Amino acid sequence: MLNFENIGDRFVSVVGTKEWQELQEKFNSCDDIYVLGHGGNLAVADHAAVDMTRLSNGTKNAMCPASGVVATSFINDTSFDQWMVNWLAARTCTRTEGQMKRSLVLGVSSSGNSTDIIKALQWARDNHMEIAIITSYAIPTEVNDLTQVILGANYYHTAEVLTLLLTYELTHGSGKVCPPIGRNTPEELEKLNWKGGEIREHSYPDEKINIGIDFDKVIHRCSKGFHDGTIYDPPVEGVIAALQELSAQYTLIVYTCKARADRGLVDGKTGTELVWNWLKEHDLDQYVSKVTAEKPRAVCYIDDKGIRFDNWKDCLENLKELKVL
């Protein structure tokens, strides 16, 4: 079987990094997205640009120089190293200063040695655009304000497929829906996506299919409390059967402060990586969709510190009974 280098684990690891969070913030704040790549990554960039635009419901305008006519024209008129700079300059020639500041140039590379992309990122930065790159290896040139998302993949096929997955995560992280098969017409996307202007019970569809579950003392026994960031105890009794039953009907999202970006590394691993490794060790990862530091949208939350809220009078009474007040 072809080696995809545990692509699912690698995806989770990348999304848990501070660099990814930085890229997500840049993506969310920008209106125009310029996606650059070449070879197989140009196909990835083109695919990503199309779906970033299509799935955004009119909030993102993404583009890519994927046409052979465009690429060969610019390469012939200038050089391979400079053609993306000239394409960017042409595509942005009518943009105002404010529009440039709300634009993101996103490079895609496997080796990190793509000179044409690096020069385009430098030009974009000099022209007040946001810049980022998804690459398997760090680029050899320092570019100020560049967000580098490092995949660490060893094979081109892994890097290219993982990059495409991550571009869908950018759309998901912007609050837009990546639709199920058969529900991707503009009208259906309109229904799936929140566009404001109305009040409704559920903000997004995943609020009806997710259950949020706290990690420590609910899944992980955590008998000693916080202990140097490690996860040291076995699972809480009965958790395997409970997660199995819940996951048959719902998508399970584990939330924990261990996944916060400001937590230090433990043995070179982030808190998110530690949680996933522990879940795998105890055969629980098969039931969990995501590990996050944020409160997820969900039907309900299972938390050892939660207080059920119906009204403030009963809530305060409960807090007094628990001697919190």
Whole-Å CA distances, 140 to 104, 114, 171, 196, 227: 21, 10, 29, 44, 39
Say what the pLDDT of residue 315 is. 94
Average pLDDT, the chain: 89
- Give the pLDDT confidence score for residue 165 in this predicted structure: 96
pLDDT (tens digit, 9 = 90+) per residue, 274-324?
A: 999 999 999 999 999 889 988 888 999 999 999 989 999 999 999 999 999
Angle at CA of residue 21, ends 200 and 172, nearest 5°:
40
Asked if 84 and 167 sit in the same domain, the reply is yes
- Quick check: 271 pLDDT over 90? no
Residue 207 has a pLDDT of 79
Question: Could you tell me which residue, 180 or 287, shows the higher pLDDT?
Answer: 287
**Is residue 199 included in any domain, yes or no?**
no
Domain assignment present for residue 152? The answer is yes
User: Given 144, 162, 192, which residue is the final one in a domain?
Assistant: 192
Span 141-165, pLDDT tens digits: 999 999 999 999 999 999 999 999 9
Q: Examine the domain organization and report whether 75 and 221 are in the same domain.
A: no
- Residue 283, Cβ density class (10 Å: 0-12 exposed, 13-18 middle, ≥19 buried): exposed
**Is it the case that residue 201 has pLDDT exceeding 70?**
no
pLDDT tens, residue by residue, 250-267: 989 999 999 887 777 888
Look at residue 79 and tell me whether its pLDDT is greater than 90: no
Task: Indicate which CATH number applies to the domain containing 129.
Answer: 3.40.50.10490
Q: Which of 170, 192, 214 is the last residue of a domain?
A: 192
Give 66's strand partners: none
In a domain, 2, yes or no: no
Output the pLDDT for position 72. 79
With a cut of 90, say whether residue 74 has pLDDT above it.
no
pLDDT for 123 equals 96
pLDDT score of 198 = 56
Name residue, tokens 């039931």. Answer: 287
Residue 205: pLDDT band (50, 70, 90) is low
Q: Which distant-in-sequence residues (6+ apart) come within 8 Å of 191 by Cβ?
A: none
Task: Identify whether residues 52 and 163 lie together within a single domain.
Answer: yes
Task: Give the position of tokens 């609910």.
Answer: 218
**What Cα–Cα distance (Å) separates residue 230 from each residue in 212, 220, 265, 272, 275?**
22, 11, 10, 11, 9
* 203 pLDDT more than 90: no
Q: How confident is the model at residue 86 (pLDDT cuts 50, 70, 90)?
A: very high
Residue-wise pLDDT for 104-137, tens only, equals 999 999 999 999 999 999 999 999 999 999 999 9
198 occurs within a structural domain: no
Asked whether the predicted pLDDT for residue 200 surpasses 60, the reply is no
Claim to verify: residue 24 and residue 169 sit in the same structural domain = yes
The pairing of strands 61-63 and 130-135 is unpaired
Residue ranges making up the domain that contains 105? 7-192
Q: How far is CA 264 from CA 48, 210, 216, 279, in A?
A: 33, 29, 18, 20
Q: How far is 122 from 120, CA to CA, in rounded Å?
A: 5
Residues 184, 68 share a domain: yes
Structural domains counted in the chain: 2
pTM over 0.85: no
Question: Could you give the CA distance from residue 111 to residue 117 in angstroms, rounded to a whole number?
Answer: 12
CATH of the domain at 215: 3.40.50
Q: Are residues 42 and 187 in the same domain?
A: yes
